[in-house]
Amino acid sequence: MLLLFGRMTRDGATVRVRCSISLLIALLIVSMQVMTVSAASARPAQVSHSVGNSVTLNHNVQQLQGRLAPTVHVLASLPPTTILQFPLVPSGIKQTFPNATGLVTIVRGNRDDSTSDTVTVDVQKMPPNITFTIFFIEFAGKPFGHVQYVADLTTRGDGSGETIFQIITLVAFAMDARNPGTSQDDTESITSGTNLEHLGMWFSSLQDAQKILNDDTIKGTIFDGGNPPLHAGPQAMTDGQSAPVF
């Protein structure tokens, strides 16, 4: 009996040891699985880094580099999106609002999905509570050449303001169908009409311009529709560049 009991005891101990070893192995396997899941959850950061490096492969960005004015920044973006930014500087308001600033952001998406670009114009330290008209123009300064009205912007009491609109921008053009002509565009090769590659802002109201600029002799311009034909004021802001900004 004692011998039998001893064997049973030893056998039981052996079983317990084997169970303990099995439990340890199971815990080790679970720990390895947890580590694998944790490593997998950390992978998006590595993927994001890899995607970030691929931005330099955006052929649209490479195509624009070197042909635009030095004030233009082509921001890093994933193809087919292209993002441009350039500043606006005071022109007609330079004497009274020398610290006025503007920033134009153009986002061009997939041309297979949409033909429009998204344009945002932000201004600061401008004449307060005044409406301005925005035009795409052939030349940044006088005589401006061909133009296209695109949007309005009304400033707040602190002189800040913004407007967002959608329009074809990087291949904007104007023409007279009786004599359309053609232009050389570095993005689209030969295009119809005359390329519009600059942006300017005008006083929508001649009276506002005369009051803000304290000059009753200022003459009206055509840079706002309606009656009378010359009821708009002078140019207020421009990109100020001779080379294209878009």
- Strand partners for 198: 137
Q: State the pLDDT at residue 11.
A: 52
| Mean pLDDT of the region 205-226 | 96
Mean pLDDT of all residues in 46-75: 64
Least confident of 30-39, 152-161, 166-175: 30-39
CA–CA distance, 212 with 97 (Å, rounded to integer): 10
Place of tokens 């308001």: 93
Q: At the top level of CATH, which class does the domain 59-238 belong to?
A: mainly beta
The mean pLDDT value for 189-196 works out to 87
Residue 5 reports pLDDT greater than 60: no
Going by pLDDT thresholds of 50, 70 and 90, the confidence category of residue 45 is very low
pTM of the model: 0.74
In this prediction, residue 35 has a pLDDT band, given cuts at 50, 70 and 90, of low
Q: What is the mean pLDDT of the chain?
A: 82
Find residue 199's DSSP bridge partners.
136
State the pLDDT confidence band at 113, using cuts at 50, 70 and 90. confident
State phi, psi for 243 to the nearest 5 degrees: -80, 155
- Give the position of tokens 């409406």: 131
Question: Percent of the chain scored above 70 by pLDDT?
Answer: 73
Residue 34, pLDDT above cutoff 50: no
Q: What is the pLDDT of residue 18?
A: 57
Distance in angstroms between the alpha carbons of the first and the last residue of the chain: 101
243 vs 58: which has the higher pLDDT: 243
